[in-house]
Amino acid sequence: AQSVTQPDIHITVSEGASLELRCNYSYGATPYLFWYVQSPGQGLQLLLKYFSGDTLVQGIKGFEAEFKRSQSSFNLRKPSVHWSDAAEYFCVLSTGGGNKLTFGTGTQLKVEL
Q: What would the x/- binding string for other proteins be over residues 4 to 33, using CB under 8 A?
A: ----------------------------x-
Is residue 104 a contact partner of residue 7, using CB atoms and an 8 Å limit? no
31-65 core/surface letters (b: 16 or more CB in 10 A; e: else): bebbbbbeeeeeeeeebbebeeeeeebebeeebbb
If the CB atoms of residues 28 and 43 are measured against other proteins, the closer one turns out to be: 43
Q: Give the side-chain half-sphere CA count within 13 A for 8.
A: 18
Q: How far is the CB of 40 from other proteins (least distance, A)?
A: 10
Segment 35-64, which members bind other proteins (CB under 8 A)? 41-46, 49, 51
- Our finding on whether 98 is near other proteins (CB under 8 A) is yes
- Our finding on whether 96 is near other proteins (CB under 8 A) is yes
- Our finding on whether 34 is near other proteins (CB under 8 A) is yes
3-state secondary structure of 60: helix
Is residue 45 a contact partner of residue 36, using CB atoms and an 8 Å limit? yes
- Our finding on whether 105 is near other proteins (CB under 8 A) is yes
* Residues near other proteins (CB under 8 A): 32, 34, 41-46, 49, 51, 90, 92, 94, 96-106
